[in-house]
Structure 1
Amino acid sequence: MESWIRELFGVSKPIIGMCHLRALPGDPQYDPAKGLDWVYECALADVQALQTGGVDAILFSNEFSLPYLTQVEAVTVACMAAVIAQLKPHVHVPFGVNVLWDARASLDLAVATGAQFVREVFTGVYGSDFGLWNTNPGAVIRHQHRIGAQHVRLFFNIVPESAAYLGQRHIADIARSTVFNTRPDALCVSGLTAGSGVSTQTLKIVKEAVPNTPVFANTGVNLENVAEQLAVADGAVIGSAFKVDGYTWNAVDVERVKAIMNKVRMIRPA
């Protein structure tokens, strides 16, 4: 477990910073007057702030594509690929992709852009704000192999945002069966929405259930709780806490990134 995390990210307990792409063509909030060039300019500013602040990796997602689809349109993947291709010369840390919320599309995007990892909801059936949310991990993993994406690390979000697992299953049982049946590279544990905290107790339950699988805190990590969260989790994905005023929909604030990463470096194992 430790070896591949160190090999990919260069550190123990890596911090993955979110680069939230602005609304894309086809999205309700897309601004055709500003166009895709503006989406790129905003993303470039966030990438530069995240890297200047010292993050260990970047995860690109179409966060502004609300309301999300569980089977995205082709234009979304195409536009994300175009923007990330422009950004790649400026990205100097490992990066991943997440097409909200379509696992197959995320893998397609990873192959197109050279991303090293993907975060997605690969397993489970949920009642969600986006309707009945079903998955097909067997088909998706076969698709991964068919398109030559075996090298892409898979981060399984087992507590999807804005959704609840159908059926009464304890989170420890979900973690154990997910690891047994699908062999994820890592598990992500989330709160209700972006920026919503994950209880340290929930992280402990998941980590104790699957001690040999990396477990990441996926939402709500901030300056105040990062030490407590990383005492349990093997890493964290941070979005909102890096933004101006800690607000999800704002631009990345380099000073907030520096403050959190300085604290992480103080507490992280050498």
Structure 2
Amino acid sequence: MSWLREVFGVSKPVVGMVHLPALPGSPLYDAARGMEGILERARQDLHALQAGGVDAVMFCNENDRPYTLRADPATVAAMAAVVGQLRAEIRVPFGIDILWDPIAALAVAHATGAQFVREVFTGVYASDMGLWSPSAGEALRYRRAIGAEGVRVLFNINAEFAAPMGSRPLAEAARSVAFSSLPDGICVSGPMTSMPVRAEDLRAVKEVVGSLPVFINTGARHDNIVDLLPHADGVIVGSSLKVDGITWNPVDPERVRSFMAIVRRLRGE
């Protein structure tokens, strides 16, 4: 049995994003609303996604702009606190994404009982955050060290807000990562948040990684999911489910319901 069906209960699962407001210590943090404001916004979005029928959710510090490559201790603590306080209200499998720190994401996932993380684990990039060179070896050894082997790792192999320093085609990089870095899944992205991945990139990656699950990572919308999902094993979706399709807005329950109706038809449900 594919681990996707084991974890999510369906083929081609939809993972809806719970984008947290800026956390303490980041430039956009709203000190007047404080942690209670962050918690309430996360609760609102979580309930809207679950009511709309998504198969899973993923918590992310999306508004901690400008991003860093190592999470501050306050970020880790705040993420763990919010997810921990919502734990009893989460009715679907859930994941953690801390931009852009795989070690921090694994730590919070293990502490909160999350089933998966999504991060950039491999490659060298010229990015908006500077030179970016994550280490899958370091991250997976850390997962082993803390006893978090049950946390699945989704590798984003074409990092957002960045360009690879090397010249390998995407499919060639995917084949290499699948062989050498032990991912549980591969995520294929557009150039930044909310920008669509290309169908040809999904097809090329899927052809070379075989049974390894491939996820649409950015830009999935009502008007393109019919064309994209046949080439993937799942989809991670955030901005298009928000009010007016804007990343920083609350989740729109009607957008969630209508998106899931399209996906269910595609899955033959």
| TM-score normalised to structure 2 length | 0.99
| Counterpart residue number, 1:37 | 36
Match of 1:61 in 2: 60
Structure 2 equivalent of residue 131 of structure 1: 130
Instruction: Percent identity, please.
Output: 52
- 1:89 maps to 2:55: no
Unaligned runs of 5+ in 1: none
Q: 1:201 matched to which residue of 2?
A: 200
Partner amino acid, structure 2, of 1:189: V
Aligned length: 269
- Write the distance in 1 (CA, Å) between the matches of 2:20 and 2:82: 9
Alignment correspondent of 1:115: 114
Letter in 1 for 2:71: V
In 2, the alpha carbon distance for the partners of 1:171 and 1:109 equals: 30
Residue 165 (1) aligns with residue 175 (2): no
Cα distance in structure 1, aligned partners of 2:265 and 2:238: 20
1:139 CA displacement: 1.2
Instruction: Tell me how far 1:195 sits from its aligned partner.
Output: 0.5
SS at match of 2:121: coil
Q: CA deviation at 1:3?
A: 2.0
Query: Does the Cα contact within 8 Å between 1:12 and 1:269 map onto a contact in 2?
Result: no
Within a 5 Å distance, the mapping from 1:14-29 to structure 2 comes to 14-29=13-28
| CA displacement 1:163-200 (0-9 Å, x = unmatched) | 11111111111001001101210000011111100110
Q: Aligned-pair distance for 1:269?
A: 4.2
Q: Deviations over 1:76-117 (max 9, x none)?
A: 000000011111111100000001000001000111111000
Q: Where does structure 1 differ by over 6 angstroms across 4 or more consecutive aligned residues?
A: none
**SS of match in other structure, 2:2:** helix
Partners of 2:199 and 2:214 in 1: CA distance: 12
Contact 1:118 1:152 in 2 (8 A): yes
Computed over aligned residues only, the root mean square deviation of the Cα atoms, in angstroms, reads: 0.8
- Structure 2 gaps of 5+ residues are none
Q: Does 1:73 align with 2:62?
A: no
Query: Are the counterparts in 2 of residues 121 and 158 from structure 1 also a CA contact under 8 Å?
Result: yes
